[in-house]
């Protein structure tokens, strides 16, 4: 169903088109009309199904921009999701001039208080910090119209049930309440019964994944080692068309610039680029003029690209359903694909959650050594030279060729050509990739992502779990930084005609 059929205003339809959305997802199609009709809704859906727009679009539609009151409150379990939600709502509400603010723990509360003086109509926040603001009277909910509980089961796992109930009790009884949760444990159902009025149920089945045509691997790697490891894997696997997924816009920018600096034909897309620029990059990628597309989850939504051979998850997605969406970009139309996910030691719980959903055990992959990467680079260069020979009019240059052969040994000339065509090794071009804040530990302790209860593990961990240890460069260890918003592939295993790849069973078919 098209968004134009859902009863949304022209300003919102313009924002939807600018964001690159074409057709409504199932949860958007079912939820938007209900929310526009002021009904309470319980939506059972994974992250990555488009639920932010499902509740965000009708909220923005209803916002009175002449009012200084907070009219909609979205409670999120983690700072990362809160920030991502705020940014998506800001983009969608830009034409209507809706003010959207975010608050979360672990950040300067005084700055947040100053921002709140701008009188946002929509507020997104994590439970503990929201309660702080409510108790300080810097957030007033007396005129709230809509309350959204996003990822309610995750907030339950983090021990936020009491906080949520305390917040709900500060809101008007006449409010509209929307609850979204991937699962429906009894405590979540109790919220629906106790705090909602005749809620309508929307249940979206997790997207099925056909895995027979996709070989799924993972590489255990500390954050500062991932970029060097990835470029060496690209050298060894020599993918035809690759999508690399990063969690944030900054990550996408740094990865694409780093890949270009090392000689790869790459470009990045995310929500901050103009629609014209995104379309230009996508057209070049589809035409094979760009080999590696780096993207956030939001920017990659709705992309239909044939011929993608590899998907690399540079950052593991926070929810399993996003993983399904990502790797579904490959293994299409009967062709084999490869997906490869980089996992830090602290993210192994997320990997196991993905395996539960896909019912496929990912295979561990050993990072390539410098020597293996070099052999891959040379093999790729040989292919390029073969192509060059086949499309060169030799007769035009026969005199100059004979002149060069008279001056230089033939082996020296070929070696010089190989040296010019072969990409530099990982260590020779230092690349800075700013580390992202670690994902919250799953189902451990009581924290909330970015809330004052959350504990982030910052140890780098070791390299157990795969043979051979680490051979990546460590060229990009830098400060930890809060992500701005948003959130790959591999090879299968039957030789590519390059004898130098004997130690890797993951080549193009």
Name the CATH architecture for the domain at 214-369+426-501.
3-Layer(aba) Sandwich (3.40)
Query: Within a 10 A sphere around the Cβ of 76, how many other Cβ atoms?
Result: 30
Architecture of domain 3-203: 3-Layer(aba) Sandwich (3.40)
Report yes or no on whether pTM surpasses 0.85: no
pLDDT digits over 357-402, tens only? 888 899 999 887 677 656 666 666 667 677 777 777 777 778 777 8
Q: Residue holding tokens 């989850």?
A: 297
73-82, 252-261, 420-429, 448-457: which has the highest mean pLDDT?
252-261
Pairwise CA distance, residues 294 & 313, whole Å: 10
For 204-336, where are the E strands, in sequence order? Answer: 214-220, 242-245, 266-269, 292-295, 310-313
- Where do the domains of the chain lie? 3-203, 214-369+426-501
pLDDT tens digits for range 262-297: 889 999 998 788 768 887 898 899 888 999 999 987
Phi, psi of 479, rounded to the nearest 5 degrees: -65, 155
CB 83 within 8 A of CB 133: no
Residue 455 has pLDDT above 60, yes or no: no
């Amino acid at each position: 169903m098209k968004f134009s059929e859902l009863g949304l205003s022209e300003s919102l339809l313009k924002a939807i088109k600018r964001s690159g959305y074409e057709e409504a997802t199932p949860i958007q199609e079912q939820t938007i009309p209900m929310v526009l009709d002021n009904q309470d809704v319980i939506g059972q859906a994974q992250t990555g199904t488009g639920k932010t727009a499902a509740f965000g679009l009708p909220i923005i539609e209803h916002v009175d921009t002449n009012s200084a009151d907070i009219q909609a409150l979205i409670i999120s379990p983690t700072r990362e999701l809160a920030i991502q939600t705020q940014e998506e709502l800001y983009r969608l509400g830009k034409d209507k001039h809706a003010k959207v603010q975010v608050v979360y723990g672990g950040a300067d509360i005084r700055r947040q208080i100053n921002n709140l003086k701008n009188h946002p109509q929509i507020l997104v926040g994590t439970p503990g910090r929201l309660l702080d603001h409510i108790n300080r009277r810097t957030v007033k909910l007396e005129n709230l119209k809509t309350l959204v509980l996003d990822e309610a089961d995750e907030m339950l796992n983090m021990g936020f049930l009491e906080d949520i109930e305390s917040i709900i009790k500060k809101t008007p009884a006449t409010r509209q309440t929307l609850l979204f949760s991937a699962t429906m444990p009894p405590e979540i159902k109790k919220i629906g019964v106790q705090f909602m009025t005749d809620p309508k149920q929307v249940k979206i089945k997790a997207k099925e994944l056909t895995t027979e045509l996709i070989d799924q691997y993972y590489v255990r790697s500390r954050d500062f080692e991932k970029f060097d490891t990835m470029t060496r894997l690209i050298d060894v696997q020599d993918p035809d068309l690759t999508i690399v997924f990063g969690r944030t816009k900054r990550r996408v920018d740094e990865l694409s610039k780093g890949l270009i600096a090392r000689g790869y034909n790459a470009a990045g897309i995310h929500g901050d680029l103009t629609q014209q620029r995104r379309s230009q990059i996508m057209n070049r990628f589809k035409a094979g003029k760009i080999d590696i597309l780096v993207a956030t989850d939001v920017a990659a939504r709705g992309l239909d690209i044939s011929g993608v051979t590899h998907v690399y998850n540079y950052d593991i997605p926070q929810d399993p359903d996003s993983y399904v969406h990502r790797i579904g970009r490959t293994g299409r139309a009967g062709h084999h694909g490869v997906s490869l996910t980089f996992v830090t030691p602290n993210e192994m719980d997320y990997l196991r959650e993905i395996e539960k959903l896909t019912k496929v055990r990912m295979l561990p992959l050993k990072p390539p050594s410098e020597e293996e990467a070099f052999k891959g680079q040379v093999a790729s260069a040989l292919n390029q030279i073969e192509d060059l020979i086949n499309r060169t009019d030799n007769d035009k240059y026969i005199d100059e060729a004979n002149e060069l052969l008279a001056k230089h040994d033939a082996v020296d000339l070929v070696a010089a050509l190989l040296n010019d065509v072969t990409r530099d090794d990982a260590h020779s071009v230092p690349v800075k990739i700013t580390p992202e804040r670690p994902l919250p530990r799953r189902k451990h302790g009581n924290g909330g992502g970015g809330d004052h209860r959350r504990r982030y593990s910052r140890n780098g961990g070791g390299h157990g779990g795969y043979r051979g240890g680490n051979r990546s460069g460590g060229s990009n260890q830098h400060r930890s930084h809060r992500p701005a918003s948003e959130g790959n592939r591999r090879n299968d295993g039957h030789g590519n005609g390059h004898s130098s790849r004997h130690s890797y069973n993951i080549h193009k078919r």
